[in-house]
Amino acid sequence: MNRKQFIGIAAGAIGVTVSSSYLLSDRSNLLRQDIKLKDSNNITLKPDEKAILYLSSLAPSGHNTQPWFFQYLEPYHWIIGNDKSKWLPAIDPTQRETILSIGAFIQNLEYAASSFGYVCHWNLLANTNQDEQVVEVKLNKIESKSPFNISRIKDRRTVRSNFLNDELKVEDLQYLVSSEAEFIHYLPAIGKEGKFVNEQTIVANRLQTYREPAQQELSEWIRFSTKDADKYRDGLTTASMEIEGFSGWIVRNFYNKDSVMKKDFREVGLDKVKQQVSESAGWILITSKDNSVATLLESGRRMQRLFLKVREKNIAIHPMTQILEESSTRQMLNQAVGISENIQFILRVGYLKDYPQPVSLRRPVDWFIRA
């Protein structure tokens, strides 16, 4: 073999190794549409019960922990519960956000039930944010005049990038806010208050990313590989974090929990936050009169009613809750934005040119039923 032939064979061998390694690697983001819903083995649930509970679970939750479960009492009669193993003690030590997420689940449940011709009767069971049994629900068949359009539940998603800077149009704002104006407040990004929330969101994210327990907790909820995403069907995936292309490939194949604790991961995250806050129409704040369980559930429901309305107007919602999660930033917020009520949600809002499909994963219904 002469030198030229050798180099040719060696280069070919390297090429084959590189391309076969690539072929064997974790090549693409796992999306919600990639998961094939298998028929349940569960003989207890009727098909419409299962559909209603799955649609309920499409609700948003912090880090996509999906902190709910249900107990099956009898057909169409369930208890909705708070799953302690899904709490986020470092960023949500009082389970305020857990209850808000369960509120969003409950709103989806009511809308989904209405689309199958049921009306819900609710009975609050929880006295505190930590009680396991939150609410009892009974579904009764009715002749529904205005069933909810469930494609709104299926198509809702959190969007984090590529917001336009255009202000919300008066008629869109009216549509989103008018029915609940007492509790929904819009702060345009160009106003003094909007700018304050922009700046403080960056400050709070910096505090949180360098607060070790918070960063550690985040690392526990990132599903780096497709294998893990499929195994757990929760948490934050490369797709839901909107890490696409080559960057996504790197993260899926080479990152793990330890990478999240490295300085460059934290700094890249902060750069992303700076970019995000520079793009928006402004902020929507959702407030409440008090912090009781009933009020938090209602605030979660209110947020979800709003969230289910935005897509048809091409408006994106990105909850950015760090100001509320870090005590030093939380303390200054009310006064600076001139709101005296309890602020439960901080939502970045803005128009999109292209609205992406939902990608975050959900556990199958069989995984969140409890005997």
Positions 239 through 258 that interact with ligand FMN (CB under 6 A)? 240
Backbone angles phi, psi at 346, to 5 degrees: -120, 115
* Part of the chain binding ligand FMN (CB under 6 A), chosen from 76-84, 94-102, 132-140, 196-204: 94-102
The amino acid sitting at 263 is K
Specify the residue, 242 or 341, whose C-beta has the smaller distance to ligand FMN: 242
Q: Of 192-200, 222-230, 316-324, 327-335, which segment contacts ligand FMN by CB under 6 A?
A: 316-324
Interface stretch with ligand FMN, choices 57-65, 71-79, 176-184, 266-274 (CB under 6 A) = 57-65
Query: For residue 316, what is the enclosing H or E element?
Result: strand 315-319
- 192 vs 271 by CB, closer to ligand FMN: 271
- Residue 56's Cβ-count burial label (10 Å; 0-12, 13-18, 19+) is buried
Question: 256: helix, coil or strand?
Answer: coil
CB atoms within 10 A of CB 211: 15
The amino acid sitting at 91 is: I
- CA 316 to chain CA centroid, nearest Å: 13
Q: Which of 60, 67, 282, 350 binds ligand FMN (CB under 6 A)?
A: 60
Determine, following the binding rule CB under 6 A, whether residue 311 of this chain makes contact with ligand FMN. Answer: no
Q: Which residue is nearest to ligand FMN (CB)?
A: 60
The only residue of 26, 97, 193, 326 in contact with ligand FMN, by rule CB under 6 A = 97
Residue 118 to residue 306: CA distance in whole angstroms: 22
DSSP 181: T
Could you tell me where the DSSP H helices lie in the chain? 3-24, 47-57, 96-115, 151-155, 170-177, 192-209, 212-220, 226-232, 245-254, 257-260, 263-277, 293-310, 322-325, 327-337
CB of 5 to ligand FMN, least distance (A): 55
Both structure tokens of 161: 């990038």
Query: Looking at 319, 323, 349, 350, which residue binds ligand FMN (CB under 6 A)?
Result: 319
Which window, 99-107, 111-119, 249-257, 277-285, contacts ligand FMN (CB under 6 A)? Answer: 99-107
- Tallying the residues shown for the chain, one arrives at 371
Q: Which stretch binds ligand FMN (CB under 6 A): 60-68, 124-132, 173-181, 308-316?
A: 60-68
Report the alpha-carbon distance of residue 272 to residue 60 in Å, rounded.
21
Binding marks (x or -) toward ligand FMN, 9..28, rule CB under 6 A? --------------------
Handedness of CA 66, 72, 76, 82 (dihedral sign): negative
Stretch that binds ligand FMN, among 62-70, 118-126, 210-218, 286-294 (CB under 6 A): 62-70
State which of residues 251, 321, 323, 337 lies at the interface with ligand FMN (CB under 6 A): 321
Q: How many Å separate Cα 75 from the centre of its chain?
A: 29
Binders of ligand FMN among 139-158, rule CB under 6 A? Answer: 157-158
208 binds ligand FMN (CB under 6 A): no
CA distance 286 to 341: 9
Shortest Å, Cβ 292 to ligand FMN? 17
Is residue 320 within the footprint of ligand FMN (CB under 6 A)?
yes
Q: Is 282 in the site for ligand FMN (CB under 6 A)?
A: no
Give, as ranges, the residues between 348 and 367 that touch ligand FMN (CB under 6 A).
358, 360
CB 370 within 8 A of CB 71: yes
Name the residues that contact ligand FMN, by CB under 6 A: 60-64, 97, 100-101, 104, 157-158, 160, 236, 240, 318-322, 358, 360
